[in-house]
């Protein structure tokens, strides 16, 4: 990290200080002071002035330097102060943890007192190195200390997706699917959303700080992306457009551990996330034409005759991302409020079921409706097709792949309350939900749920 400024000492020499300045640092900052009395400095002799000796204090505690293992932990919420005793000036002050993260600080006009402007991390080992002018022995004064565990609560951040693709790759290859998985990662479709679930609510004034430490990278590079706050404990991340096909994506939060978000909340270490995308696979359902086109990387693989939701149970319009798959699923009308003694009742096993919403829209085999495929809509909201087409589609589509329903009289798929509908939100509105790019206003995600089975 490069020096953030090089103010001059009264003697005309430049002082190097590190870190970021201020506004956020001042809000979180500190009143911390561990004392250092370097034992390498010789005492004054023959009436000569004593050489300069910097004293490092954490909070109100003063300690002689000794082994860090025997040093009592200090309060991470206190400020660090370096004061020069004797003649001379401070020329360089660095305070950093074992990971190399530097603590920002400010030098007063006399160039004899340096104060930290940012909080320390809890349960962290620090090393302070101070150079002075004059500099005895041409070596920096050095001291070490460790901060205590946080007295405040710990915020845990859980990154997702957490499940991963478990498709039958041998069958998929036979069907023409050439997806592969990076070692140690899982493969998803290009519509997969990154999530961050927080163990405690984060107030609006602390969200930008947390969000700025959550880094998402993709190789090859994705379109610009942003986090979006759904509520005080949930964030979603997506690029402006779908992820690149066959990309490696990582989500890290290396600088978050021990960071203080509020007076009562610090961040626990965050487990990083890595996953891959396969080819761009998309199923476009044209409800008015009663057909579904399946594409891979822009090339149409198959056009399938289908039936969609009938009047009163219309299939939702818009983009829905595949949630999961089940080879066999039992569907009962009673789960969606249809009594078992009515003409609309059903209770039957369904094969090759690909789930699109939490409320129960699926793509699946519907051999009982064979006479309606490509002709009319007879389902309770799902997209039905022949057994043969459903078996083929089951191998082609996987978690995170895209489906898009057009020319339907059904409701619009909402972004958050019924599965992965995030791509239905316009990009400007999405970016405005970031604490860094916009207001991070929490929006209502209520909607009327569709049937949970067809």
Q: Which residues are catalytic?
A: 364, 382
Token pair belonging to 219:
């190789």
C-alpha 435/C-alpha 441 separation (Å) is: 8
Q: What angle do CA 318, 320, 326 make, to 5 degrees?
A: 145
> Where do we find the tokens 């004054």?
44
Show Cβ contacts of residue 359 under 8 Å, excluding neighbours closer than 6 positions.
418, 419, 449, 450, 451, 452
Nearest Cα residue to 216 out of 261, 162, 273, 157: 273
Nearest Cα residue to 304 out of 393, 367, 366, 381: 393
Dmax over CA atoms of the chain, in Å, equals 110
C-alpha 92/C-alpha 6 separation (Å) is: 10
Do residues 404 and 284 make contact, with C-beta atoms less than 8 angstroms apart? yes
Nearest Cα residue to 379 out of 435, 296, 306, 279: 306
Left, alpha or beta for 354 (phi > 0: left; psi -120 to 50: alpha)?
A: beta
CA distances from 222 to 184, 185, 225, 239, 431 (A): 21, 18, 8, 7, 15
Helices of type H across 81-165? none
Q: 303: which strand partners?
A: 293
C-alpha 114/C-alpha 102 separation (Å) is: 14
Q: Rounding to the nearest 10 degrees, give the CA dihedral for residues 241, 242, 246, 247.
A: 60
What is residue 49's three-state secondary structure? Answer: coil
């Amino acid at each position: 990290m490069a020096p953030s400024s090089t103010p001059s000492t009264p003697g005309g020499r430049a002082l190097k200080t590190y870190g970021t300045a201020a506004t956020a640092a001042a809000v979180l900052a500190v009143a911390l002071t561990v004392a250092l009395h370097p034992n390498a400095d010789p005492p004054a002799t023959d009436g000569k002035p004593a050489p300069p000796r910097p004293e490092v204090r954490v909070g109100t505690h003063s300690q002689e330097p000794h082994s860090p293992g025997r040093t009592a932990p200090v309060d991470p919420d206190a400020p660090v102060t370096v004061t020069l005793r004797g003649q001379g000036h401070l020329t360089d002050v660095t305070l950093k943890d074992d990971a190399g993260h530097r603590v920002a600080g400010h030098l007063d006009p006399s160039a004899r007192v340096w104060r930290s402007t940012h909080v320390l991390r809890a349960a962290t080992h620090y090393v302070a190195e101070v150079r002075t002018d004059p500099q005895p022995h041409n070596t920096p004064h050095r001291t070490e200390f460790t901060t205590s565990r946080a007295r405040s609560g710990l915020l845990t951040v859980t990154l997702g997706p957490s499940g991963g693709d478990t498709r039958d790759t041998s069958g998929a290859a036979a069907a023409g699917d050439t997806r592969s998985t990076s070692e140690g990662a899982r493969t998803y479709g290009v519509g997969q959303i990154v999530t961050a679930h927080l163990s405690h609510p984060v107030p609006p004034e602390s969200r930008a700080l947390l969000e700025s430490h959550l880094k998402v990278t993709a190789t090859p590079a994705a379109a610009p992306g942003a986090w979006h706050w759904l509520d005080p404990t949930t964030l979603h991340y997506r690029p402006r457009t779908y992820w690149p096909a066959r990309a490696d994506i990582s989500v890290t939060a290396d600088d978050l551990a021990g960071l203080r978000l509020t007076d009562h909340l610090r961040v626990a270490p965050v487990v990083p996330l890595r996953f891959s995308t396969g080819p761009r696979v998309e199923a476009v359902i044209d409800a008015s034409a009663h057909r579904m086109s399946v594409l891979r990387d822009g090339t149409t693989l198959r056009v399938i005759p289908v039936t969609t939701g009938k009047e009163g149970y219309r299939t939702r319009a818009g983009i829905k991302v595949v949630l999961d798959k089940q080879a066999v699923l039992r569907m009962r009308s009673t789960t969606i409020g249809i009594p078992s003694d009515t003409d609309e009742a059903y209770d039957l096993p369904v094969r090759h079921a690909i789930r699109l919403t939490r409320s129960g829209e699926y793509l699946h085999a519907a051999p009982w409706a064979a006479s309606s495929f490509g002709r009319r809509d007879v389902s309770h909201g799902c997209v039905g097709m022949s057994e043969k087409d459903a078996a083929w589609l089951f191998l082609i589509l996987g978690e995170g792949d895209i489906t898009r329903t057009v020319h339907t009289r059904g409701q619009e798929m909402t972004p958050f309350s019924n599965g992965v509908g995030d791509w239905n939100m316009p990009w400007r509105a999405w970016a405005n939900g970031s604490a860094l790019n916009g207001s991070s206003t929490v929006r209502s995600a209520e909607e009327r749920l569709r049937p949970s089975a067809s």
